[in-house]
Amino acid sequence: MPGSSLRILVVGAGIAGLAAARALRLAGFRPEVVDKLPASTVAGAGIYLPGNATRALRVLDLDAPVRPCGEVVTRQRFLDVRGRELCEVDLVKLWDGVGECRALPRADLHRVMLSGAGGAVRHETEVTRVEAVAGETVKVEFGDGSSAEYDLVVGADGRRSSVRVMAALGSAAVPVGQVMYRSVVTGGPKISEWTAVLGKRAAFVVMPMGGGRLFCYADEAGTAAPSDPLARVRELFEGFGGPVPAVLDAVEKVQVAVTDEVEIGRWSQGPVVLVGDAAHATAPTLAQGAAMALEDAVVLADSVRRAATVAEALGEYERRRRPRTRWVLERTHDRDRLRDVAPALRDPLLRRRGSTIFADHYKELVGPH
Ligand SMILES: Cc1cc2nc3c(=O)[nH]c(=O)nc-3n(C[C@H](O)[C@H](O)[C@H](O)COP(=O)(O)OP(=O)(O)OC[C@H]3O[C@@H](n4cnc5c(N)ncnc54)[C@H](O)[C@@H]3O)c2cc1C
C-alpha cells in the first residue's frame, strides 16, 4: 500500500503501541500515537524478555540499544518449596539461533521503545470514541474534544482496551483467579539465575536484572488484591526455602495486580485492529506478553506494507498471528494447572520430566513469527 498517504492512529504507547509505531515507520508509514497517561507514567518494575522478544526487537532494529540494559539470563532453575532442585531449563540451548533472554527495568525498555517510535507520541490524549465512516475510514474523538479521520486505527490500549469495546470486538477481560505480585529489590542476596520456588498454588520467581537489583514476581490463587501487598507476600512465602527468605528480608515495596485474560472471536472490525494485550492478554506465567506484542507489531506492519487494501492486510495479520497467541494462551493454562497440582504429585513428576515439560511450553515460539 502506498505508505505515506495512509492515515494511521495507534492508540496506546505501551510496548504494543510503540512497537507498532516503530514497525509501521520502518515500513514507510507515518503513524500518529496517542496515550491517555502522562509520559512519566512507567511502572518501576522489571520485565523478563524470552528469546523471541529479542528476535522481534532485532527486526525492529532496537536490540542494540536494549542490549546494555539489565542482565542476560541463561538458565531457569525450578525448586521445590524447601528450596531443593526439581529441574532446570538451559535457555541458551532452548533459544539457540533465536535470541538471548534478558531481565531489565521496564523503564529502560520503554525509553528505547519511545525513541524508536520517533518521539511523535501525544501523551495525555485519550481516545473517547471510535466510529466507522462509510465502512472505509474511522472517525476518532479525543478527550480534549478534537476529532480526526483515519484509514487505520491500531488499538494497542492494553487488557482493559476501550477500543475493543468501542469497535464491538469484545467486552471486559476475564479474571483467571490469580493474584500477581511484583517487586524490584536492591541489596538482596546474590542471585545469578532465573529461579522459581514452587509451593502449593503459589510460586515465587526471582532473577537478576543488572545494577545489583533483583526482579521478583510471585503469584497465588485468588480473585482480590490484598490491601497490604507487602505484608501478604511476607506472610504467603514465609515458609519457602531457597533464596526466598533472603529476598523477602530485602523487599521494600510490592505492586499487586489481579490477573485477567482476553480471548475474542476477531481482532478487527473495518479498519480498526487490536494488537498486544488488547487482543490476547494472558496471565504472565510464560512472560510472553511483551514478545507477543512485539511480534504482532512486526507482522502487522509487514501485512500492511504487502497488502493492496487495509481489509486484506488485517485479515492476513490475524491469520498469521492467531496460532502463536493461541499457543501462548493454552500453554499458560497448562503451566498454571501444573502449579495447582498438589506438590506431593507434581514435584516427583518435575524431577523426572520438568526440564522437558517447561522447555516444551516454548516449542512453537522458537520458530519464526
Ligand atoms: C504482573 C505482570 C507481570 C508481567 N511480566 C511480564 C514479563 O516479565 N515479561 C513479559 O513479556 N510480559 C509481562 N507482562 C505482560 C506485559 O507487561 C504486557 O503483555 C505488555 O506490556 C504489552 O502491553 P500492551 O502495550 O499491549 O498494553 P499496556 O502496557 O497496558 O499499554 C496500553 C497503553 O494504552 C494506554 N491507553 C489505554 N486506553 C487508552 C485510550 N482510550 N486512549 C489513549 N491511550 C489509552 C494506556 O495508558 C497504556 O499506556 C506482565 C504483566 C503483568 C500484569
The grid coordinates listed for 239 are: 515458609
pLDDT (0 to 100) of residue 221: 93
Domains of the chain: 3-71+104-173+261-340 (3.50.50.60)
pLDDT at 4 over 80: no
pLDDT in tens, 23-53: 999 999 999 999 999 987 776 789 999 999 9
pLDDT (0 to 100) of residue 180: 96
pLDDT (0 to 100) of residue 120: 76
Average pLDDT of span 73-88: 98
Which among 47, 264, 280, 292 is the best mutation to test ligand 1's pocket, defined by most ligand atoms within 8 Å of the CB? Answer: 47
pLDDT in tens, 263-312: 999 999 999 999 999 999 999 999 999 999 999 999 999 999 999 999 99
The percent of residues in the chain predicted with pLDDT above 70, rounded, is 98
Distance 40 CA to ligand 1 centre (A): 15
Distance 242 CA to ligand 1 centre (A): 31
pLDDT at 54 over 80: yes
Q: Which residues contact 120 (CB under 8 A, 6 or more apart)?
A: 21, 32, 33
Least confident of 15-24, 39-48, 156-165: 39-48
At 118, the pLDDT band (50, 70, 90 cuts) reads confident
Q: Are 288 and 51 in contact (CB under 8 A)?
A: no
Q: If DSSP codes are grouped into helix, strand and coil, which group holds residue 221? A: strand
pLDDT (0 to 100) of residue 117: 86
Distance 134 CA to ligand 1 centre (A): 32
Residues in contact with ligand 1 (CB, 6 Å cut-off): 11-17, 34-37, 47-49, 126-127, 156-158, 162, 180, 182, 217, 257, 276-278, 284, 287-291, 293
pLDDT (0 to 100) of residue 340: 85
pLDDT (0 to 100) of residue 369: 86
Distance 276 CA to ligand 1 centre (A): 8
pTM of the model: 0.97
pLDDT (0 to 100) of residue 43: 67
285 DSSP assignment: G
pLDDT (0 to 100) of residue 241: 98
Beta strands in the chain (DSSP E): 8-11, 32-34, 46-49, 71-73, 75-80, 85-90, 101-105, 121-122, 127-133, 137-142, 147-150, 152-155, 174-186, 194-198, 202-208, 213-221, 255-261, 268-269, 272-274
pLDDT at 119 over 80: no
The atom of ligand 1 lying closest to the CA of 47 is: 8
Distance 289 CA to ligand 1 centre (A): 8
Which among 9, 10, 15 is the best mutation to test ligand 1's pocket, defined by most ligand atoms within 8 Å of the CB? Answer: 15
Distance 350 CA to ligand 1 centre (A): 31
The atom of ligand 1 lying closest to the CA of 289 is: 19
pLDDT at 67 over 70: yes
The answer to whether the Cα torsion of 216, 106, 57, 174 is positive or negative is positive
Instruction: Report d(CA 119, CA 364) in Å as an integer.
Output: 34
pLDDT at 2 over 70: no
